[in-house]
């Protein structure tokens, strides 16, 4: 883990109010109606209470990142879109992003995906009878990948990123003491506040979309950010990639077209499944193999 370098840290530390007043300011930020604010007004309100936005990030070596798979689901493919084009399964154009998402401001696109196929499917909120497309992407990085971390204290031990959460929490506490001394608890409270908001903030995601934009698009850039999946009750995690990072560091592997039937417990039922794979510039569709379906989503009930 790493933290972004902070300029004039000594001067900034003097701006922090007493701890309880700082915590109260974070609570006020949580309760405010931020949806009516412009981006500049949002920054003013944010920094008035937070004072210093100290970000935590990790660096994933390319050889490790390239062993990973990422899953993305679309349930809303329109009639004027072509299921045989790769771009159909990637991030939308900025012009189509009319509302904030949890990790994107309106008018800004990100590549949303998940660490598990089941998580990606639940995040898409499918309805019975809908046709969906689950695309599989592999890491294809040419350098170390920089990611921002927003993992809350309540992350379940079953979550594959539970160990990372513990490592980050220890790092935040240790670095806060080194950097801020008597003001270290302010940094710990801020990190936990951001991580909690990425799980629990509801639409229109005024705060997390702004924070994500700062992390992905602004000065202290990240290739992607990671945060727990609320739709999957914290059992999995979601990622939001900057479009340029998605273009250069992710490689399309295949897409699974399906008809969604139901979800019962941990089992998701699908049928009419076809697999699309690129052959040169053509998308070839074929019957799905049972073995690959189990590899993509083990907790699934695949009906022919």
**Residue 123 dihedral angles phi and psi, to the nearest 5°:** -65, -25
Strand (E) or helix (H) holding 19: helix 19-31
pLDDT average, residue stretch 237-253:
97
Question: How do residues 46-85 score in pLDDT, each as one tens digit?
Answer: 999 998 887 778 899 999 999 999 999 999 788 889 999 9
Between 152 and 197, residue with greater pLDDT: 197
Residue 278 has pLDDT above 90, yes or no: yes
- The predicted-structure confidence for 169-196, as pLDDT tens digits, reads as follows 888 878 767 766 777 888 889 999 999 9
Query: pLDDT at position 304, please?
Result: 45
Q: Domain segments of the chain: what residues?
A: 2-55+143-221, 60-142+246-303
Contacts 24+ apart (CB under 8 A), 74-77: 74/124, 74/132, 74/133, 74/135, 75/124, 75/125, 75/126, 75/127, 75/130, 75/131, 75/132, 75/133, 75/260, 77/131, 77/133
Report the pLDDT averaged over residues 247-258. 96
Q: What is the mean pLDDT of residues 109-133?
A: 93
Task: Give the lowest-confidence range in 46-55, 126-135, 243-252.
Answer: 46-55
Neighbours of 96 (CB within 10 A): 9
Whether 15 shows a pLDDT value over 90: the answer reads: no
Q: Say what the pLDDT of residue 303 is.
A: 53
Would you report the helix, strand and coil content of the chain in percent, each value rounded to 5? Answer: 40, 25, 35
Residue 23 and residue 64: Cα distance in Å, rounded? 38
| Residue 300: pLDDT over 70 | no
Task: Choose the weakest-confidence range: 166-170, 245-249, 278-282.
Answer: 166-170
Do residues 123 and 241 lie in contact, with contact meaning Cβ atoms separated by under 8 Å?
no
- What pLDDT score does 94 carry? 94
Q: How confident is the model at residue 258 (pLDDT cuts 50, 70, 90)?
A: very high
User: Which span out of 110-114, 122-126, 228-232, 290-294 was modeled with the highest average pLDDT?
Assistant: 110-114
Question: What's the predicted TM-score (pTM) here?
Answer: 0.92
pLDDT level of residue 9 (50, 70, 90 thresholds): low
Per-residue pLDDT, averaged over 277-287, amounts to 94
Arithmetic mean of pLDDT over the chain = 89
Once rounded to an integer, what is the mean pLDDT over residues 189-212? 94
Give residue 16's pLDDT band: very low, low, confident or very high (50, 70, 90): confident
């Amino acid at each position: 883990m790493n933290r972004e370098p902070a300029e004039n840290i000594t001067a900034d530390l003097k701006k922090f109010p007493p701890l309880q007043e700082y915590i109260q300011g974070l609570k006020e930020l949580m309760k405010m109606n931020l949806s009516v604010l412009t981006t500049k007004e949002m920054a003013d309100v944010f920094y008035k209470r937070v004072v210093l936005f100290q970000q935590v990030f990790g660096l994933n070596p390319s050889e490790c990142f390239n062993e990973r798979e990422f899953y993305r689901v679309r349930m809303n493919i329109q009639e004027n879109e072509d299921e045989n084009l790769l771009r159909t399964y990637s991030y939308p154009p900025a012009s189509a992003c009319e509302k904030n998402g949890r990790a994107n401001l309106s008018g800004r696109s990100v590549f949303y995906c998940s660490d598990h196929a089941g998580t990606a499917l639940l995040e898409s909120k499918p309805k019975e009878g809908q046709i969906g497309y689950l695309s599989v992407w592999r890491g294809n990085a040419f350098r170390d990948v920089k990611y921002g971390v927003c993992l809350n204290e309540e992350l379940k031990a079953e979550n594959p990123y539970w160990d990372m959460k513990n490592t980050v929490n220890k790092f935040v506490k240790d670095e806060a003491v080194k950097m801020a001394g008597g003001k270290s608890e302010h940094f710990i409270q801020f990190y936990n506040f951001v991580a909690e908001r990425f799980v629990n903030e509801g639409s229109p995601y005024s705060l997390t979309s702004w924070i994500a934009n700062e992390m992905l698009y602004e000065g202290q850039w990240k290739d992607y950010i990671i945060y727990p999946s609320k739709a999957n009750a914290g059992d999995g995690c979601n990622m939001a990639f900057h479009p340029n990072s998605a273009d250069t560091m992710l490689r399309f592997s295949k897409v699974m077209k399906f008809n969604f039937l139901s979800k019962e417990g941990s089992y998701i039922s699908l049928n009419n499944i076809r697999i699309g794979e690129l052959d040169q510039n053509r998308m070839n569709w074929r019957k799905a193999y049972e073995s690959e379906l189990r590899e993509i989503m083990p907790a699934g009930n695949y009906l022919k």
